[in-house]
Amino acid sequence: MHNLWPIPYISAHHLKDNILREVLDFVSRHLSEKGVFYANVNISTQPDGSWQGFPVVYRNFDFYKAAFERNNMTVSDLGHLQEFGHFHPRLSQEAQECQRMLCAVRV
């Protein structure tokens, strides 16, 4: 199991595209040259939803790759959130497999 705390991190799966753009702009301006930024996302083509008033967004990896690249960062998929110890008791295994951890660094 990976230990990622404390680190710069967001739950991007709750961010609509316009908010994600603003967050990545902020990160790109403040991340140090050797800094690392993590985001958990839902990688899927299913329609967006909501949870307790928050958006739950689903995008393909290429969407996130392009979003990070526009902000001078490269991104890689580190794997399922389950590999980091996150298990959601109310989500199916299929739904949990969409939950991924991304890692971004400066170009």
pLDDT for the residue numbered 57: 96
3-class secondary structure, 36: strand
- State the pTM of this model: 0.87
The model's pLDDT over 40-74, given as tens digits with 9 standing for 90+, comes to 999 999 999 998 999 999 999 999 999 999 999 99
Any domain includes 27: yes
Any domain includes 62: yes
What is the distance between the alpha carbons of residues 81 and 101, in angstroms, rounded to a whole number? 6
Any domain includes 12: yes
| pLDDT classification of 1: cutoffs 50, 70, 90 | very low
Q: How many domains does the chain have?
A: 1
Give the domain extent around 21. 1-37+47-70
3-class secondary structure, 74: strand
Any domain includes 101: no
Any domain includes 22: yes
Any domain includes 54: yes
Judged against a pLDDT cut of 50, whether residue 35 lies above it is answered with yes
Q: Angle 17-30/61-69 helices, nearest 10 degrees?
A: 40
